[in-house]
A and B are shown apart, each in its own frame.
Chain A
Amino acid sequence: MTERTLSGIGVTPLSGVGTVVWYRPDADLPEPPAAEDVDAEAELARFEDARAAAEDELEAERERTAERVGEEEAAVFDAHVQFLNDPQITDGVTDAIEGGLPAEHAVQETFSEFVEQFENMGGRMGERADDLRDVRDRLVRVLSDGERVDLSSLPEGSVVVAERLTPSDTAQLDPERVAGFVTVTGGRTSHAAIFARSLALPAIVGVGEELQSVEDGAEVVVDGESGDFVVDPSDERKEAAAAAADVDIRHESVETADGVEIEIAANIGTLADLGPAVDRGADGVGLFRTEFLFLDRESPPDEDEQYEAYVEALESFDGGRVVVRTLDIGGDKPVPYLDLPDEENPFLGERGIRRSLGPDADLFETQVRALLRAAASADGANLSVMLPLVSTVEELRAGRERFESIAADLDAEGVENELPEFGIMVETPAAAFMADQFAPHVDFFSIGTNDLAQYVMAAERGNERVSDLGDYRQPAVLRAIDATVSATEGEDCWVGMCGEMAGDPDLTELLVGLGLDELSMSAVTVPQVKAAVAETDTADARELAERVLQADTKAEVAEILTLDQ
């Protein structure tokens, strides 16, 4: 059998191998019996029992979701209970039963009418239609006595494949038994995606209708990083996926073979990413992309909500450093409640620190207050803060002054606060050129290789036509990194790296040789990079770095690195 690859949006950087179990909650009901054969009284009683059972389930799932994912996600179950007990629904179902339909058909008919109404209204109403469908399917499942796939007791190694997975569906999944899931619809921020990340399950969403062609029982590989869903995988493919899933996880910090400690941290977007970061053995967080706290909502998180988020991140690691990047909003990251300008080149426009010191000064102030307070919390000494997209010393100074003046405001209000360790992202060529001027003003640099490569090479990220140019193995990018690290010599300033390059275990030795003190990456590659650090000898690594820095082409860089493997 030859393998076949379908592609979707990978939502967790994890791989899994398993067997397809199709989940089709809205499978057709059998034809109803003739109206005169239906005992209306008995059916009404069945409906009442089912309603009570469904409400119990919803309460339980609400609790579980609040615990596993968060209060925000759990609130949807309150709406479900209200739909379940809505007088229009109960009256409709009662009428339908009295008109001669069995309970499940009456539920199906009544809900479908409202689902259709809401769908026709479009917009926000579409979400309510999803909620209604979810409640309807739950009632029908309870009534039909679990004749369909029960998500809570799947065989081990199941890969759940579905049109969509609702919050109710995902709340039932047993992560111990499920090897991953794949859906026809959905995006990076859909319920299912958030859930997959919080449970560290390999998952792909938005594969499209082609997914329907995959059969129940098929053997598959779910690559939640690339978004590849491989059906009938080759043995090599399965082994590679299994190897990726089965690595030794070190929870202790790691040293090179000659005893130099290198901090290996995780990049996170939301609090749901903390679990996988801890599970994969990250020492802390090297990049907390706080803009994710601001996306996909109608209004910005307030000071208390942010404070709690930062404290939760700090408490997740036993003494591990948590580097929070202040808001990096602009251009490519639309936020509905902010009036973002239309710019011809958003990546070269008003983004990052440029907005925080300009139009988003109020948002920035709220964030800084939350950060200063978090730095005074029990684990606050481990908090570090960095500014994104800094390109001038004035921006750095202005950012730092904002922290100091807001700290003075908090002092005046009698609110406990501390100034955290302070740094900047090095992601513009300007910052790399000026690193020696920046270094005396900061405690650390964190090199953001995705943007640095894009700006150094003038090659847009995600544009396949120029992907060869935008590669972080281009000699110019490596020299920018080297210049940044070298500029800190003799200064009390450590240098870290966040971005995809830091998580590439084939480059770990080179990065140690270039003098990086910390590497931060998506949680999934933490074990591989820790293993690579343990095998590295710093003297050899420095020698490797020197040779690589002499290379005049990317091909030569790649050749030196391959020969070295």
Chain B
Amino acid sequence: MERTVTVVPEDGLHARPASQFVETANSFDADIQLGRADEDDLVPAASMLAVTGLGVGHDESVRLAAEGDDAEAALDALEDILSTPEAKQ
């Protein structure tokens, strides 16, 4: 299952939002990947290196893909992080 989400945090997928994103991705069983919305390549969401390596900034769109039992819940949780303006503690 797939979803396209706009990255709201000012930092983009860096620093604290990226940390939270990876931590959340790791907390689900589903195999989750992401990439830039306008590109075909996807990288593992569980890898901090891969996620920050995408260099996604504020207001850019990303494509999330998840497979597995809790895929929908995982996508919901990750979308929530990407749609929250400021990372919460």
Nearest-neighbour CB distance to chain B for A61, whole angstroms, equals: 16
CB distance from B89 to the nearest CB of A (A): 7
List the one stretch of B47-55, B61-69, B72-80 in contact with chain A.
B47-55
Q: Is the CB of B48 within 8 A of A86?
A: yes
Chain B residues 9 to 26 lying within 8 A of chain A, measured CB to CB, are 10-12, 14-16, 18-19, 22-23
- In the complex, the answer to whether A299 meets B16 with C-beta atoms within 8 Å is no
Contact (Cβ within 8 A) B22 A82: yes
**Does B86 sit within 8 A of A, measured CB to CB?**
yes
B29 vs chain A, min Cβ distance (A): 15
The CA-CA distance from A124 to B22 in the complex, in Å, is 18
Contact indicator A88/B47 (Cβ below 8 Å): yes
Q: How far is the CA of A4 from the CA of B15 in the complex (A)?
A: 41
Contact call A83/B19, Cβ cutoff below 8 A: no
Taking CB atoms, residues of chain A closer than 8 Å to B32 are none
Contact partners of A299 in chain B: CB under 8 A: 10, 85-86
Q: Taking the complex as formed, is A118 at the interface, i.e. its CB lies under 8 A from any CB of chain B?
A: yes
Let me know if A82 and B11 touch, CB within 8 A.
no
Distance in Å from the Cβ of A139 to the closest Cβ of chain B? 15
Q: From A79, which residue of chain B is reached at the shortest CB distance? A: B19
Q: Determine whether A149 belongs to the interface, using a CB cutoff of 8 Å to chain B.
A: no
Chain A residues 87 to 120 lying within 8 A of chain B, measured CB to CB, are: 87-89, 114, 117-118
With both chains docked as a complex, state the minimum distance between the C-beta of A285 and any C-beta of chain B, in angstroms: 26
- Give the size category of A's interface with B: 20 to 34
Say yes or no: is B46 at the interface (Cβ < 8 Å to chain A).
Answer: yes
Per a CB cutoff under 8 Å, which of A75, A87, A88, A114 touches B19? Answer: A75
Measured in the bound complex, the distance between the Cα atoms of B11 and A17 in whole Å is 41
A-side contacts of B48, CB under 8 Å: 79, 82-83, 86
Which residues of the other chain, B, contact A82 by a CB distance below 8 angstroms?
19, 22-23, 48
Q: A71-B89, A82-B22, A87-B44 are known contacts. Are A114 and B49 too (CB-CB below 8 A)?
A: yes
Which residues of A sit under 8 angstroms from B10, Cβ to Cβ? 298-299, 337
**B86–A83 CB distance below 8 A:** no
* A121 interface hit (Cβ, 8 Å): yes
A125 touches B52 (CB 8 A): yes
The residue in chain A whose Cβ has the minimal distance to the Cβ of B16 is A75
Q: Which of A71, A79, A87, A88 contacts B18 (CB 8 A)?
A: A79
Decide if A128 is an interface residue (CB 8 Å cutoff).
Answer: yes
Query: What is the bound-complex CA distance between A78 and B89, given in angstroms?
Result: 12
Minimal Cβ-Cβ distance residue in B for A78: B19
* B residues less than 8 Å from A75 (CB atoms): 15-16, 19
The CA-CA distance from A299 to B58 in the complex, in Å, is 12
Task: Given contacts A89-B49, A117-B53, list 6 more A-B pairs with CB under 8 A.
Answer: A75-B19, A86-B47, A86-B48, A88-B49, A124-B12, A125-B55
